[in-house]
Amino acid sequence: MTRRTRLRLAAPPAPLVPQALLVLLVLLVCPLAGAAVAVADAPTPTASPALPPGRPNIVLVTLDTTRADHLGSAGWAHAATPNLDALARRGLRFERCDSSAPVTLPAHATILSGLFPPRHGVRDNGTFVLAPGVATLAELLTQAGYDTAAVVSAVVLARRHGLDQGFRIYDDDLGAGSSAGTQVEERQAEATTSAALAHLAGLRPPYFLWVHYYDPHEEYRPPTRFADAASGPHRLYDGEIAYMDSEIGRLLQALPQATVVAAVGDHGEMLGEHGELTHGVLPFAAARRVPLMLAGPGVPAAAVSDCLARTADLVPTLLALAGVEVPPGLDGESLLTSGPGADCSRVAYSESFLPYYAYKWYPLRTLSDGRALFLQAPRPGLFRLDRDPGETNDLAAAEPELLRLWGTRLERLLAAAGERLEEAQAPQATLDEEQRRQLASLGYLSGAGAASGGVGDLPDPRQRVGIAQALHTAAARIQQGGCAEVLRELERIVREDPHNFPALALSGQCLRDAGRHADALRLYERAAQENPASAVPVANVAGSLLQLGRLAEAEREFRHALALDPSEGDSAANLARLLRDSGRGAEALAILDRTIAAGGTSTQLFLERGSMRATAGRLEEALADFREAVRRAPTDPLALENAARALFALGRLQEAALSYETLARLQPNRADVWKTLVALYLETGAVAEVERCARQALRVETVPEDRARLEELLSGLATAP
C-alpha cells in the first residue's frame, strides 16, 4: 500500500495584528481533505461556418456501446432516437453492419484506419497503441487540405493510444464540463457536444470533425428526464441512448446543410445474451452488430441497404465522398455502391482478444458474409444468420465441410496479415495502477497482458463467461468499498480458474485491505508469475513485503518493477521513501527524477518529490510539483494541502487562502480547514473573512477547548473598534 507524505513547514514570523486576534494561529498545522478546480463550459457557437465550394465538410459520429437494434429506425419499440432516425431517413442506412471488435479502442482503430485488427495491430483497451505507420482517415484528409478536430468522451481513447494521428485538435480533456475538481474517466453527451461545437466554430472548411459519445456504456445512468421517459426491458440503457441522441441533435443542428455526416456504433452490448451482460468477451451479434447511417452530398437519399457493411468500410467511403483518392491495401471498401438492389459480397472479420489479455482464455475470431457466421474457438462454431439471427444454434457438427472451408478462409486472412491462427501477440505497453483504476472504473478489467505464444490449449471463453461476469460484479463492489463481501467469491474463482490474473489481483487487494499481508503476498506472487513482464504485480509483491517489514526484499522488488517499467510511479514513490528513511535521500530524489522523465504519471511521484524538495528548502520547485499533483488529481487532499502549505511558506498568503477555500468548499464539515483559513485571514488582516470562517469552524467544531477559542475570537471581533 502506498504511503503518502504530508509537507511540514515552519510557520512564518508573527503578524503585526492585535494579540487578541492571534489566538488561533496555533491551529494552522492540520490535516485537510478534498479539493476542487472549477472548469467552465465551452461556449456554444451561434452560427455554423459557411461551406465553401468544393469538397464537403465531413462529420463522423461514433456511438459507443450502441446496439443496432435499439434505434427507432431499426424498429425498436422502446427507442427515443428522433435525431438519428431523421439522419437515417434523409440518407443511407445499413441494416447490417459488423464491428471488428466488441471493445472500444480496437473498434475505433478500425473505424479510423479502414483496417481489421490483425492489420492495424490494436487488439485490446489500455495496452495497445496505434502505430505511427498506420495511416488514419484524419491524416489522409489533412493531406487533402482538410482541417481536422476530434472530441472523445472516454479515457480509453486518450491520445496516448495513437488515435490522435492527423488531428490538429484532439480534445480528450474529460474534465471539461464535469463537476469542479472531479476526476473523470468519461464525459457526458452534453459536455461532449458543447466541446464539439466550440471547436467547430474555429475549424476552417473543408473540415473533418470526429465526435465520440460514450453514454450508453455501463453504468447506465441517464439524466432523470430520460430515465423517467424510458420503458421496456432495458429501460436505463435505452435512456442513455435517448440522452445521447438528444445531444447529437444539438450537434447536427449546427452543421452546414451540405455536410457529409456518418454515424456508426463502435460495438454493441450483450444485455444478457449468451450469458454476458455487457461486452468484450463474446463476439456474437448483440455486441458485433452496430448501427451505420450516412447522409449528405453524394449519399443516396432515403435509402436502406441490406448489404453487409463493416466498420472498416467507413474510411474508403468517406474518402470517396470527399473526392480523395483511396489508398490501396485497405480492408474496407466504399459503400457508395451499396444502395438498394446492389450486388455486394463482403466478408466481415471480428475478434475478441480481451479474454486472452485479461483472463488468459482463448481469443475468439469470427468471419461472416451476412448469411453465415463462422466462429473460431477451441470448438469452432457455424451459424445460419437468416434462420438464427441470435446465433444460438450451432451447425458445426452438421456441416463439417462448410466449417472447414470457413476455417481455411480465416487462416488465409490472418496469413495475409502475418498472423497464425493458434498464436497471439503480446501487448505493446503496460499499465500503471492509475491506468488500471481508470479502466476498471469503466468496467474493463485489465489482466496479465499475456505474452506472445500459442493459444490452442486455453479455455473457451463461452464456457467461462460467467466468471468474467462475476469478476465484473466483484470489481464494482470493491470500488464501493465492498471487499469483505466479495472475497469468498474471488477465492472460489481463483480455485476454479487458477491462472486468472484479475481474480488473483483482486483477491490480493482485498486481503491487503483486510490487513492480511502474508496471504496477499502469496496471491500477488502468483499474479506476478502469470505475467513476469508486467511491473504492476511485482510492485504489489513489493508493497506486501514492505507492509511485512521485509525491507531489503521490498527494495529489491521495487527496483525489479522499475526495471520492467521505468515509469511505474507507485514503485518509484515507495522506493524513494524507503531510501529516504534509510538516509539515502540523494538516491531517492534521483529515482523520482528518472521516473518522471520516463513518463511516470502517478500523483505520488510529484507529491514525494515535492516533499523532498521542500525539506531541502527548494520551495519554488516543491510548489511546482505539488501543483502538478493537483493538476493530475484535483481532489487529492494531500496534493492540495501541500500546495497550500508551500504557498504559505513562500509568503503568498492570498494564493494559499484560495487553495484552502477550495478545500472548504469540498469539505464544509471539516473544522480544521476553517480554522486554518481563520489563521490565514488573521495574518492578512481580512477581518470579515476571519469572522465568516470562524463561524463556519464553530458550526462543526466538537473539541470544547477549540470551541471556546473560537467563541473568544468572535467576541473579540464584535467588540473591536
Query: Would you identify the CATH topology of the domain 566-631?
Result: 1.25.40
CB 66 within 8 A of CB 291: yes
Running DSSP on this structure, what letter comes out for residue 381? Answer: E
pLDDT at position 154 is 95
Mean pLDDT of the chain: 88
> Are the C-beta atoms of 434 and 569 separated by less than 8 Å?
yes
Q: Is residue 250 classed as helix, strand or coil in its secondary structure? A: helix
Peptide bond into 206 cis (omega under 30): yes
| One fold for 427-560 and 566-631 | yes
Task: Give the pLDDT score at 484.
Answer: 87
pLDDT in tens, 634-652: 888 889 989 999 999 999 9
Average pLDDT of adjacent 10-residue blocks, the chain of 721 residues? 45 31 33 27 31 80 98 97 98 97 98 98 92 98 98 95 97 65 72 97 98 96 97 97 98 95 99 96 98 97 95 98 96 83 83 93 96 97 96 97 97 94 72 61 55 78 95 88 89 94 93 95 94 89 97 97 92 96 95 95 93 94 95 86 92 93 88 93 92 95 94 88 68
pLDDT, tens digit, 9 for 90 and up, residues 190-218: 999 999 999 999 999 999 999 999 999 99
- Amino acid letter at 24? L
Which amino acid appears at position 208 of this protein?
Answer: F
Residue 201 grid coordinates = 466554430
Residue 627 confidence (pLDDT): 95
Question: Quick one: pLDDT at residue 27?
Answer: 34
Q: What is the dihedral of CA 68, 69, 70, 76, to 10 degrees?
A: 150
Q: Can you list the pairs that 275-280 forms with residues at least 24 positions away whose Cβ atoms lie under 8 Å?
A: 275/465, 275/466, 275/469, 276/465, 276/468, 276/469, 277/218, 277/469, 277/472, 278/218, 278/443, 278/472, 279/65, 279/102, 279/103, 280/102, 280/103, 280/352, 280/354, 280/358, 280/444, 280/468
CB 611 within 8 A of CB 641: no
Quick: pLDDT tens for 651-675.
999 999 999 998 888 889 999 989 9
- At 123 the pLDDT is 95
- Compute CA 109 distance to the chain's CA centroid, rounded to the nearest angstrom: 16
Q: Are 171 and 199 in contact (CB under 8 A)?
A: yes
C-alpha cell at 100: 471488428
How much is the pTM? 0.80
Q: Where are the domains of the chain?
A: 17-36+635-721, 58-340, 427-560, 566-631
153-195 pLDDT, tens digit each? 999 999 999 999 999 999 998 875 443 333 457 899 999 999 9
What's the sign of the alpha-carbon dihedral 252, 255, 257, 261?
Answer: negative
Q: What CA–CA distance (Å, rounded) separates 105 from 59?
A: 19
Contacts of 331 (CB under 8 A, 6+ apart): 114, 115, 116, 119, 310, 312, 349
Query: How far apart (Å, rounded) are the C-alpha atoms in residues 63 and 54?
Result: 29
pLDDT confidence of residue 46: 30
pLDDT score at 396: 97
Contact 269, 279 (CB under 8 A): yes
Q: 531 φ, ψ to 5°?
A: -145, 80
Residue located via cell numbers 479515457: 155
Q: Read off the pLDDT of residues 86-140 as tens digits, 9 standing for 90 and up.
A: 999 999 999 999 999 999 999 999 999 999 999 999 999 988 999 999 999 999 9
Please tell me whether the peptide bond between 496 and the residue prior to it is cis, using omega within 30 degrees of 0: no
State how far Cα 12 lies from the chain centre. Answer: 43
In this predicted structure, what is the pLDDT of residue 185?
78
Closest by CA position to 713, among listed 682, 684, 680:
682
Q: What CATH code is assigned to 427-560? A: 1.25.40.10
Q: What is the pLDDT of residue 437?
A: 61
58-340 homologous superfamily = Alkaline Phosphatase, subunit A (3.40.720.10)
Q: Containing H/E element for 632?
A: helix 619-632
Contact between residue 677 and residue 28 where contact means Cβ atoms under 8 Å apart: no
CB 331, CB 315: distance < 8 Å = no
Q: What is the pLDDT of residue 632?
A: 86
- Topology of domain 17-36+635-721 in CATH is 1.25.40
